[in-house]
Amino acid sequence: MKIVNKLYDKRINAQNVLLEMTIKEYSDIAVNITKDNEYQRKRVKGYGTVYKLLKEDLKSGCLIPPIVLAIRIEKMKNILDTKNVKDDLILSLIKPENLIILDGLQRTLTLFDLINELIETDTQELESLYQHLLRIEVYMGLNKIAILYRMLTLNTGQTPMSIRHQIEILYSDYLNATFEGISLFREVEDKKTKSIGEYYFKDVIEGFNSYLDRDELGINRTELLENIQNLETLSSENENMDLFKEYIKTYNSLLKKFDELSEHWDYRNTTEYDKSQYVFGNNIFETFSKSQALTGFGAAIGKLKYNKVLYGFEEVNDLIKKIHFADNASKIILQLLSYLTMIRNNAKNIGYYQRVYFMYFFKELFNSKGESFLNIDEATKNAFDLYTIKI
Amino acid sequence: MPLISLYNDTIQIDKVILDKPLSLFEISNSQDPDDNSFLIDYVLPIEDGYNLTNYELYTYFSQDVSENDIFQVYEKHIDKRIGWIFPITSLVSREHSKSSDIHFLKYAFIAFQLLLLDSNNRKILEIGKQYYLTSHYEERSIYPENTIVLVLCKDCLKEINNFEINHYLPSLFFNGYYYKNAINVKKVVDDKKNTRERVNITKISEELNDEQYIYDLFQELIFETHPFVKFHLLYQIVEMLIEKILHNEIKIISAKLKERKIYARDFKDKIAKFEPENKRINKLFVEYSRNIDKEIINNLKGRCNDFLKSVNRNDEICDNIDKIIYSVRNFLVHDYRNIPKESVKLLIELNYSFEKLCVYMLMNFKRTE
């Protein structure tokens, strides 16, 4: 294995090292690449003509395009200045446990496939194969954001993962965050969220993203790169984490306040209860823990902050203490739910338009310059009027 | 199928593979040497295990359909369910009322795949970019958001003699499902859509199956924007039908003559009774299309009378649909150049009602013996 070239990528601030190594050396270091790789989750892939041809080409010594790997930042042994790292230190980091693959997974899998075949059938040809050379690029010390950014922009024709998957990766650190009385769950864990404080991870991320974007459209925006750039504009990872916590803690406080003011309102305990009728949520938590509400809240606060009506979540927390129902809480909550049902029955895109409604609702509630400031009744009705005008 | 854009060429998507654990489809071209592919998320619960070749898929458009407008499709004559019709947005959302209905989910899963393989779709997908089946962003959507999906079960269609989807174009049009993605179509106001479960579709009268003009009209011409032109395009349906009436009546009278039930002189008198256009239009409404919804006729009558009043043809206002539609036709043929500006709006509204009448006439036309 030898280093052929080193270039510095200024966009993601990482050293890119071009190595030349034998297939044998690559197979030794790549042994973990296909395992536990969150960035390249196993995909169904056909092994048809293309891969058969590739195997034949490999046997005959063809030169395949460089495979691109990365060493995660946490594996860099605290090396801060990757521009000036000595070659022997670089080579010492090229180890199975340090590497992830950015591009070339299918070629790698095909190579392993071929090796396994030759182990069984032709060891002489295997030895010959092992001596053929490969070019391998390695990025030194990439964080999660940079890894995703590079994978998306390499643009080799392979889309390694769907948008949903990419979002999960980007925000996976937040999944592990725990803070007072709030738990986040992945949908795959199949837990029906039960009480205030328990949220689906994806829904919270969507809401947080809407706060950053000031847009209720939600995380289905097609340019994931903009999501990455959003995170990068928050100057440090600590700041990201604190802001995220503030967002969800504030929201959780708001739900607790709604629940308290409505005396733990539950549709099933009302005289209007009809089991056969659809309702957006049976109680405060069910209603407001959905992604439409979380996103609407994020977008509303983002917009109010941008327009300098609010200064941040701290101010929102103070305002939450003052929100109130002017009329009977049950009547107003039923009204809000009926609006959501109307939207469901008539909207071209239900999720989007319910987000719009919630955005108007929260914006009305927390806009000190508006008529509905802190008044849940007025916010409920005026939000629907604004929604109707918009559509 | 959608197309993959390569350097100087495009190739078609012809392979769709489900990744069930990740709930997504990988789409690609099976002969692509670079093995380019795209991943499309599938958000609904998966109901698989059905053979795609047992289903047919058609796409239409609508300007005013809601995500929740998901209906079973019943063929009126056999009174059986033959499939489902729904907006494409219902395939990318769990918010609607059918997201747990296994019958819908089965058709949804089939439709999703057939849409990805549909050879009529010529959307070009650029390598490295991500796409959705449909979304708010047109450039990243394989289909526009106002696409309507009709999925039919082939086994169910066997009960229908010589099934041909184009025979149902007028009926689909009537229900607000259009062959073309046009903007100048009347929104279908349906107060009952939130409670009903089905859409009934009716084919045109079998005697009209070979009339190419019907298909040309509902695939293209009916989206004409100029109201004068549109009226005449619709009126061609009347012309077509009264021509058939002429032939049929001549046939009936000739048979009677042959059987000596009438004589030569009667023959001439009888022809004179129905040969004039207005008389045949009367026959069209009274004898040959008897089952037309009275509300549709009354609605058109009202619009015609409003129009005639606005162009100062008050002496032609009456209660007979055949007379007043003929009067409108005559005004437009002979006097359009003098039409007041405010009457043009009325003509547009009249045309919307006339469309409905044409649909009913096509579905109900029947030769008398």
Radius of gyration of chain B (CA): 25
Please list, residue by residue across B271-296, b when 16 or more beta carbons sit within 10 angstroms of its beta carbon and e when fewer do: eeebeebbbbbbbbbeebbeebeeeb
**Looking at residue A59, what is its pLDDT?**
84
Q: Any idea which of A27-36, A187-196, B172-181, B260-269 has the lowest mean pLDDT? A: A187-196
d(CA A213, CA A79): 34
Q: What is the pLDDT of residue B136?
A: 81
In this structure, the dihedral spanned by the alpha carbons of residues A301, A304, A310 and A315, taken in order and rounded to 10 degrees, is -20
Whether A282 contacts A266, CB under 8 Å: yes
pLDDT digits (tens, 9 = 90+) for A315-367: 999 999 999 999 899 999 999 999 999 999 999 999 999 999 999 999 999 99
What are the pLDDT digits (tens) for A284-303? 999 999 999 999 999 999 99
Q: What would the pLDDT profile of B270-320 be if each residue is shown by its tens digit?
A: 777 777 887 888 888 888 887 788 899 999 999 999 999 999 999 989 888
Strands (E), B120-232: 124-126, 147-153, 198-201
Q: What is the pLDDT of residue A222?
A: 43
Residue type at A312?
A: G
Q: What digits encode the pLDDT tens for the residues B180-199? A: 988 767 666 665 666 678 99
Is the Cβ pair B136, A155 closer than 8 Å? Answer: no
Predicted confidence at residue A337, as pLDDT, reads 97
% residues pLDDT > 70 (chain A): 78
- State residue B188's pLDDT score: 61
User: Would you list the DSSP string of A177-246?
Assistant: --BTTBEEE-GGG-PPP-STTEEEHHHHHHHHHHHHHT-TT-TT-S-HHHHHHHHHHSSSHHHHHHHHHH
| Stated pTM of the model | 0.81
Count of CB atoms situated within 10 Å of the CB of B179: 19
A221 vs A37, residue with greater confidence: A37
- pLDDT of B43 over the 50 cut: yes
Contact (CB<8Å) A44/B30: no
- On the CB side of B137, how many CA atoms lie within 13 Å of its CA? 13
**Residue A237: pLDDT band by 50, 70, 90 thresholds?**
very low
Confidence of residue B156 (pLDDT cuts 50, 70, 90): very high
Residue range A256-260: average pLDDT? Answer: 95
For chain A, the average pLDDT equals: 82
Interface test mutation site (partner A, options B7, B10, B35, B100, max chain A beta carbons within 10 A)? B35
Q: What is the DSSP string of A321-378?
A: TT-B-SS-HHHHHHHHHHHHHHHHHH-SSHHHHHHHHHHHHHHHHH-TTSTTTTBHHH
For residue A217, list chain B residues with Cβ-Cβ distance below 8 A.
136
Q: What pLDDT is stored for residue A189 in this prediction?
A: 54
pLDDT tens sequence across A171-200:
666 676 667 788 887 765 555 666 778 888
Pick from B10, B66, B138 the residue to mutate for testing the A interface (most A CBs within 10 Å). Answer: B66
The model's confidence at residue A44, banded by pLDDT at 50, 70 and 90, is: very low
pLDDT (0 to 100) of residue A340: 97
Phi, psi (rounded to 5 degrees) for B265? -70, -40
Question: Cα separations (Å) of A85 from A14, A28, A99, A143, B43?
Answer: 12, 23, 17, 18, 46
Quote the mean pLDDT of chain B: 89
**CB < 8 Å to B128, chain A:** 155-157, 159
pLDDT tens per residue, range A108-125: 888 888 888 888 888 888
* pLDDT of residue B57 exceeding 90: yes
| Alpha carbon separation from A167 to A174, A293, B137, B202 (Å, rounded) | 11, 19, 18, 47
